[in-house]
A and B are shown apart, each in its own frame.
Chain A
Amino acid sequence: MHTPGKKREAWATQLGVILAVMGSAVGLGNFLRFPGLAAKYEGGAFMIPYFTALLFLGLPLCWAEWALGRYGGNRGHNSGPGIFRAVSSKRFVPYGGVLVLIVPIVIYMYYVFIEAWCLAYAWYMLTGQLALGKNSAEYVKFFDNFVGGSRDGVLFGAGGGPTLSFVALCFLLNFTLIYRGLSKGIEWFCRWAMPALILCAIVVVIRVLTLGTPNPAEPEWNVLNGLGFMWNPHTDKIPFGEALQNPQMWMEAAGQIFFSISVGFGTIITYSSYLRRRDDVALSALTGAAGNEFCEVALGGLMTIPAAFVFLGPVACEHCGSSFDLGFKTLPMIFQYMPLGQIVGTLFFILLFLAAVTSSVAMLQPGVALMEEGLGMRRKTSVLWLGLLTMLGTGFIVFFSKNLVALNTFDFWVGTLAIYLLATAEAILFGWVLGIKQGMAEIDAGAKIRVPRILGFILKYVTPVYLLGVIALWIRQQIMVSKDNQFRAIADDPVVRWSVVFIVAVSLLLGVLTFFSLRRWRKAERARQEATP
């Protein structure tokens, strides 16, 4: 809660906050995960569940998060527990807001490591150190060496210097921005980084779409067929109607919308808490989401898969693998085949890096907000403590680098499950605790567009049911799989076990900080009541 008379942080412009939210949403998933998923699930058919999830899950939750954030902010709170408490002061409700701290802080711990890969790959591409020829094994080996995939602790040995240096650089950049504050740090950075990112992406898309048929020996490997590989509904293999009956596809489309648009990450709710009472949220939320969708569908959808297709062909494309495989093993090799590939490759990794920084810096603000308003710390002290905590977590991830087990464990429990839980908590908070009538009034306050009235019904009934359904399906699927079963791995793999212990320890710490913050707020309120005649 803000100290009376103390200057409250605020965004300088509406466009600034929109770009900051857009930046927090646009990340590696837009350019790597989305194209991979769309190509995997019958290309064009995937877009039906994708846009359905956008309309019934992504956009409604976006509006709810923006409205909840501003609601809490105008009652003196910028941190998750504070915002939850502003909605309901019942004893346990504010503890739901601890998820607004856990999710971004824990994700930051591994995301900054991935961010360092993007920066390093941009540098190595620019300096020609990634020109490893046309043998894919070389790129796999390079990646494994860089991320320390061979054994735990290897990056803290003699060969880990470059990786640690790039991680340190990313840490420095993130914490400098967060220390400079909301307007002078995050907003200033996003105001130039987002246009730069989109410009880089447009250059890469133009290069990819003008590749034609680069290999005359394989006339079928051309850009049009590459686009077809990504967008065709594949009616020759599976009929369109049958493709739409795949529940797995609906679940993954919902998941993609969810992660891509950054609902349930705790960043939108925190950012919007710095809005003024009559600032618009309806149009801002829509613009932020639209910017993210543009980067994902119009840029990511035309870039990655067609580029891989024209040089590697359909068979290799079907085995492009995970986002990391596609981005850090396959694409660097493709840039070696491509005319002007060194420049295009550098721009591609710069755009990934900018997308990552604008996301990671957003993940730090919720933690800083709690330490400042809940524990009364100054900016310098809060940034220092958060820096130490996240450094410890990143150190853990970097140390247990073998096969990226720790990173994947953090991503599973927090980067996936906790996000679903937070989004569900927010949907319930908005629809059932604050109430649809008051919630819609909050969205309408200062609105520059009128949101459809049906949004109230969707937010109260459809979104929570949709979310709970997706969570249930997802958990069922995770329990059923035999390979990479994260539930079973807790018993089988000590690194997974220690990773889960680490996450629980961080969660408890944040819970304790919330407890002390709540005590402090109650004390301040009592003192104010006593002072009032």
Chain B
Amino acid sequence: MTLGGWIIMTLSVSFVTLLLAWSLYRVLRDSGPAPNDDDGEEDGE
């Protein structure tokens, strides 16, 4: 495996892993009830 291969593999795998980890962290951190202006249970239309 060449140095170029190592760099591309490491950057690609790290990027997608960190992106998922950060997104999931934000989702779980903010997973409290959202300030909804409707409950979505009833639809008046």
Contact = CB atoms under 8 A, between A and B. Distances in A.
Contacts of A44: 4-5, 7-9
A47 B4 CA distance: 12
A518 B34 CA distance: 33
Contact of A235 (B4, B23, B31, B39): B4
A287 B29 CA distance: 13
B16 A298 contact: yes
B8 A76 contact: no
A314 interface: no
Contacts of A231: 1, 5-6, 8-9, 12
B16 A233 contact: no
B2 A232 contact: yes
A71 to B, nearest CB: 13
13 contacts: A4-B44, A5-B42, A6-B43, A7-B42, A15-B27, A224-B1, A227-B1, A231-B8, A231-B12, A233-B2, A276-B36, A283-B30, A297-B13
Contacts of B6: 231
A228 interface: yes
A75 interface: yes
Contact of B43 (A76, A230, A290, A446): A76
Contacts of B8: 43-44, 47, 231, 233
A235 B2 contact: yes
Given A287-B27, A297-B13, A276 B5 contact: no
A18 B27 CA distance: 9
A286 interface: yes
Interface in B1-45: 1-2, 4-9, 12-13, 15-17, 19-20, 23-24, 26-28, 30-31, 34-45
Interface string A72-113: 001110000000000000000000000000000000000000
A232 B31 CA distance: 40
Contacts of A286: 19, 23
B25 to A, nearest CB: 10
Given A7-B41, A43-B8, 12 more contacts: A8-B42, A14-B34, A47-B8, A47-B12, A76-B45, A235-B2, A277-B40, A283-B27, A284-B27, A290-B23, A296-B16, A448-B26
A228 B5 contact: yes
Nearest to A9: B40
A233 B34 contact: no
Nearest to A22: B20
A301 interface: yes
Contacts of A284: 27
Contacts of A291: 20, 23
A286 B24 CA distance: 10
A487 interface: no
A8 B43 contact: yes
A173 B29 CA distance: 34
Contacts of A13: 31
| Closest CB pairs A-B (n = 7) | A228-B1, A44-B8, A276-B40, A232-B5, A76-B45, A287-B23, A231-B9
Most buried by B among A10, A227, A275, A287: A287
Contacts of B4: 44, 232-233, 235, 240
A51 B41 CA distance: 39
A1 B17 contact: no
Interface string A432-457: 00000000000000101100000000
A2 B1 contact: no
A287 B19 CA distance: 8
A301 B9 CA distance: 9
A115 interface: no
A280 B24 CA distance: 13
A233 B13 CA distance: 16
Contacts of A228: 1-2, 5
Contacts of A65: none
Nearest to B23: A287
Contacts of B9: 44, 227, 230-231, 301
Contact of A276 (B15, B31, B34): B34
B19 A290 contact: yes
A372 interface: no
Contacts of B45: 1-2, 4, 75-76
A278 B36 contact: yes
B40 to A, nearest CB: 4
Contact of B40 (A1, A4, A10, A75): A10
A8 B13 CA distance: 40
A422 B19 CA distance: 27
Given A232-B1, A235-B4, A279 B16 contact: no
A254 interface: no
A323 interface: no
Contact of B12 (A8, A15, A280, A297): A297
A302 interface: yes
B17 to A, nearest CB: 5
A283 B5 CA distance: 31
Contacts of A385: none
A276 B38 CA distance: 7
